[in-house]
Structure 1
């Protein structure tokens, strides 16, 4: 219960911050920036802003690699929240994290989507993409311009903080995903949880595949439980 309350407070608090305390919102400039980002017109965009925008997408894919599996075992499905997160970022994900119940089991077969998000290759691709993005932002970006925009533009400010918030709430899914794979290692948990972004990406690259169970074994388990 404490976890759920904390997540709801984070959700409400972040929305309140963005609406009430963040820098002013410049609608025309923001719409132009989003259009240029989505249409690959990046020549006049600060590399740091482009990197942060791309890292939101990286974080969403990291969460996909856990939430689609987790959602199989929940009363609620993950995909509506992930779809909402495409437009709202971490704001769309937090309600799922607050509503889900702890579950350290997985039953049934993996379909094509689950095999994709469970694959180590997916983690490797995300890790390599992230390293390139971080290097691009670090060495090409204009930090003085970014700080000025962070302090004066609500979209840049909120998007930057959302990238940090993705990392803060990631451990709420990590423990159950590790348990499903037989990784009962508190040291590993805290290493992944406390290394922002690269920790979760390394985990996706190295975690063992999720064990499957046949429909017959699942039925036997259900029957024995009913007895």
Structure 2
């Protein structure tokens, strides 16, 4: 009887207690150690019943990091992750303010493009008729009375279209073309827009170089004040579109001789040459700013057909300005509740 009890206890012990490893876990910083103890060998009893002996195991501690063994739902781990995320975001904001976290590739390319264009205009553009350029400028500015000379219709249309381009860019860049990050946020946009009435794209491209999106929020009372009460007005967009359409028709009414004369001016006159290049540059950049304005107003899905019309010089962007979503119905408008929410997130 005692022999049977001894065999029963020998069969129970290896499979009950020895299979459970002793776990010693350290908190947070020190590694957790798992020990595997070898099972006892009872060779005499096993051999008596022709049973194979237990395999020999080597004592081997298993080391694991406390980060792996710790519960991810642990509040201490969550607090550490939050602190690291805040620190990362803070460092990212500091980098943006210092200009280190920004990709300057596009800005550098734009600056090189602007430098090349300015060099061409001042040094390589045709300048065979400087006296005629002075005369044209006085006639176009209405500083010279009627002397019997009829100005070229295409040139007159081009001259006044440049003023409409400045109005168009003012409506596109205010407010969605303003900067909100880094040092560019402290540079106002209005000097560039005012000077664009005199210099066109030659003045706007330097602002494109330093522009840093996204656009800042617009306060509700700001929409009712100058200049947003004008740039956001459908009346302004409608009048500008009507004027642009009239100038296109006026230039189209010029006969073949008028277009040939304009082409001759383009080849000889620096004034006509530089103005034509200015028109082309603003037409090239306009679709991007239409897209930027649509993205800021979250209306890209509803107005894709307007984006397709934006490459049409002058008229395409003006059609978009007439039908674009008002800023009061877009997330760009800052309401008191949203401002409190942003303040809470910042805190």
How high is the TM-score relative to the length of structure 1? 0.89
Partner of 1:22: 125
SS of match in other structure, 2:113:
helix
Q: Which one is further off, 63-72 or 201-210?
A: 63-72
Whole-Å separation in 2 of the counterparts to 1:120 and 1:208: 10
Given the alignment, which residue of 210, 227, 234 partners 1:120? 234
Structure 1 stretches lacking a partner, 5+ long: none
Higher helix residue share:
1
Q: Which one is further off, 118-127 or 150-159?
A: 118-127
Tell me the CA shift for residue 68 of structure 1.
2.6
Q: Which one is further off, 43-52 or 145-154?
A: 43-52
Does residue 222 of structure 1 match 2:342?
yes
Aligned ranges for residues 36-185 of structure 1 at < 5 Å? 36-39=139-142, 44-70=150-176, 73-74=179-180, 75=185, 76-104=187-215, 106-109=217-220, 110=223, 111-140=225-254, 142-185=258-301
Higher strand residue share:
2
How high is the TM-score relative to the length of structure 2? 0.60
Partner of 1:31: 134
Q: 1:80-132 CA deviation, whole Å, 9 max, x = no partner?
A: 11222222221011111111112155331312320210112211111111111
The one of the two structures with greater contact order (alpha-carbon pairs below 8 A, sep at least 6) is 1
Does the C-alpha gap of structure 1 residues 222 and 73 become closer, same or farther in structure 2, counting only changes over 3 Å?
farther
Larger radius of gyration: 2
Does the C-alpha gap of structure 1 residues 218 and 33 become closer, same or farther in structure 2, counting only changes over 3 Å?
farther
Q: Is the 8 A contact 1:56 1:89 kept in 2?
A: yes
Q: Which one is further off, 80-89 or 51-60?
A: 80-89
Whole-Å separation in 2 of the counterparts to 1:62 and 1:193: 12
Q: Is the 8 A contact 2:114 2:205 kept in 1?
A: yes
Q: Is the 8 A contact 1:127 1:198 kept in 2?
A: yes
Whole-Å separation in 2 of the counterparts to 1:106 and 1:99: 19
Q: Is the 8 A contact 1:127 1:201 kept in 2?
A: yes
Q: Which one is further off, 16-25 or 53-62?
A: 16-25
Given the alignment, which residue of 315, 323, 332 partners 1:206? 323
SS of match in other structure, 2:334:
coil
Q: Is the 8 A contact 1:167 1:197 kept in 2?
A: yes
Whole-Å separation in 1 of the counterparts to 2:311 and 2:200: 21
SS of match in other structure, 1:112:
coil
Does the C-alpha gap of structure 1 residues 72 and 161 become closer, same or farther in structure 2, counting only changes over 3 Å?
closer
